[in-house]
Every structure is written in structure tokens, then in C-alpha cells.
Structure 1
Amino acid sequence: MRQTYTGIRAVLLATATDRAAAGFLLTAAAQEPLAPFLGHAQAACLDLLRNLLPEPEEAPATSTTAKPIPLREYLTELFKFGTTILEWSPSEVWQASPAEIEAILHARLERLEAMETASNTDHQPKHQMSQDQRQANIEAGLDPDFDRRGLRALKARHGA
């Protein structure tokens, strides 16, 4: 960021939780030399960036296949995920930190993976038909892929 009043003003207004107080501060600082104000403003901007960037979960790998993206693109993607996948309103996404959005996205993906795994294991056939039984069913004109044991178990469960 260039060390200008305009750049610092933009950051302060974009991140202020109390816009009136930020406006008052900027009005007062506009009449003063920039040098004494600059150190405090830069520290606040760096603190903002430190809080925006996610903390690494583990040491970075020596070689990565992911291509680096600019911070602006990263935040834009998080905003899209927040409004589409998480179905939050734009104001809710703006109020959440990137770390919060990432944590919830990871939790949602883990949940979807668990549901997918559970649904795939439910559809696995429990009994495999022997080749002899399959051949006997074909010779008898029956569907060799029909699960007769499953039908008998279902009838027994429902008393039919």
C-alpha cells in the first residue's frame, strides 16, 4: 500500500466497525501531518491483514501443486462460497472472518463426504450369488440379478 492519506483512509473506512468514529478520526487526521499518523495506521493495517489471513494448520509443504492467487481473488472466492454453498446473506459473509468461513466450509465438506460414504455403503449388495445359483436362475428363465434373499428378508420383516 502506498503511504498516502487516501490509501489509509480507504482501509480505515472499509474496516471500521463504527463509521462515525472513523470519519471523525480521519477528519482530525486530515489537518495534521501524515508522518506521525502513518506508523499507527500502518500497524492497524498490518494487524488487519494478520487477522484476515488464515493460520497454517501445519508447516507448509516444500512443494505444492496449488498456484498462488492474489488476496483479492481469495477473498472473492470466499464470498462466493459463503453466499452460495453456505447460503448466507452478503452481510453475514462480510461479518465473518475468512478463517470462520473456511472452517465452516471444511466442516460442510466433511459432512457431505460422510453422507456420501454412508449412502454408498448402504447400496452395496450384502449377499453375492454363487455362479452355480446364477446359472440355475438363467436356465430357469429367472432374472439372475434379482436379489431373492433380500426379498425373502423384506417379506419376513413385514410379515408377508
Structure 2
Amino acid sequence: MIKRRAYEEITIAHGVTLRPSLRAATVLEERYGLPNLFRALDDLSLTIISEIILVSFSSGNQNAAAFLSSLRGRPLLPFFLSVRAPLAELVSMLTPAPDPKAKHKPTTGKPVTWSEVFAALYERATGWLGWTPEQAWNATPTEIDRAYRAHLGKLKAINGGTDDDKESDPEQAERNVAAGLDPEFDRAGLHALKGMGKKA
């Protein structure tokens, strides 16, 4: 498994810097699907490798297009061999890094697609964190996820929560906010209390 960098950015040939932004993740997932990106690197697909570079180029598409144009008429194998490993690292960074502090708990809900995950990250960045759309698109999925978790931790601290409290469920917190409730409001607990009152 590839170790994730603290600051998610890679450099390929000729000092070209690539960043696994939410924009890049969303575009590449929509066009190819994340598993196919790894397969394209193994298959040395010039089309998909070029697309990964184009959408991840931190200085913009024009510079990326100029870089790729400079490869015309030259042997491609040395290029493929030099970019395959760093691009595999970049593709792995298109998904949020696991939170080392999070407690593992079994998933009980229905599986979500990566496009749904990326849409939720955009909503959290612009809705919860107050970032501009441009800031959200330029941030990496990991940056958004960590900032969002820190924001929930801040709300927990403001509302008197402790580390011993039950871990926050981000989806429930979002439903609470949509309903005009405190993000940490325990709706299930309230229903349980109401049920006990009816039995009494």
C-alpha cells in the first residue's frame, strides 16, 4: 500500500507538479472510474495518462497541454516508465486518506459511489466550511475531509461534548442541520425516551 504524503502533491518529469484536487477526482471518476485509472497506468494508455496529467496539473490546462505536446515525435516508453509510479501515487490520493484517529466501526448503510462521496465533499466544503466553490474544487478530498472533521470537533467542543461521547455520525449531523437542529442532537435517543414515556 502506498504511504500517503502529508501534503498531497507529486512531481513528474521536467518538474511538472500535479495535485489530486477534488476537481481532478470528480472529472477522472466521471470519465473513467477510479479502478480504470490504475489499469490505464498498467496498460500504458496514453489517452488516460494524458487526461490524468491535464486535469491534475496545478498550473492549469494550457501548461499541461504544452507539456504533453512536447512529447510528440519522441519515444514514449521512457516517459511512461518515469510517470507510472508517481501517477499511481496521485490516483491513490484522489480518495480521502483514512483518519488515523478514527475508530473503526462496521458500516451498516448502503454502499455509496465515489461520485456521491465527491459530491458530499463539495457540499461540506461550501456549505459547512464556507469555502468558495473555487477553494473547494482546488482542495484535495483529504483536505476537505480533515477540515470537515475538525469543524465537527469544534462544534462538539462548543456544545460541551467530550472525547468519551459517542463518535459523531457526519450524515446524521447533516440531517440535523437540515432540520434546524444542533449537529450533535441525538434524534435516536430522543425517540427512545419518547417510547419509554409511552410505556410508563
Name the TM-score class by shorter chain.
Answer: 0.5 to 0.7
Q: Does 1:80 align with 2:80?
A: no
Give the distance between the partners of 1:59 and 1:102, measured in 2 at CA: 12
Judging changes above 3 Å, is the alpha-carbon distance between structure 1 residues 60 and 29 closer, same or farther for their aligned structure 2 residues? farther
Q: Give the SS at the match of 1:39.
A: helix
Q: Does 1:23 align with 2:36?
A: no
Structure 1 residue 88: Cα displacement? 0.9
How many equivalent residue pairs? 119
Q: Does 1:47 align with 2:89?
A: yes
Give the distance between the partners of 2:111 and 2:91, measured in 1 at CA: 17
Task: Select which of 124, 130, 148 maps to 1:105.
Answer: 148
Structure 1 residue 12: Cα displacement? 0.5
Name stretches of at least 5 consecutive residues in structure 1 with no aligned partner.
121-160
Structure 1 residue 67: Cα displacement? 4.9
Name the % identity.
27
Q: Highest Rg: 1 or 2?
A: 1
Q: Structure 2 length normalisation: TM-score?
A: 0.49
Q: Structure 1 length normalisation: TM-score?
A: 0.59
Q: Which has the higher contact order (CA 8 A, sep 6+)?
A: 2
For residue 28 of structure 1, what is the amino acid of its counterpart? S
Structure 1 partner of 2:138: 95
Structure 1 residues 105-114 or 57-66, which shifts more? 57-66
Judging changes above 3 Å, is the alpha-carbon distance between structure 1 residues 78 and 44 closer, same or farther for their aligned structure 2 residues? same
Name stretches of at least 5 consecutive residues in structure 2 with no aligned partner.
1-36, 162-181, 183-200
Greater share of helix? 1
Structure 1 residue 33: Cα displacement? 4.0
Give the distance between the partners of 1:60 and 1:52, measured in 2 at CA: 22
Taking the TM superposition and a 5 Å limit, the aligned residue runs for 1:34-73 are 34-53=76-95, 54-57=97-100, 61=104, 63-65=106-108, 67-73=110-116
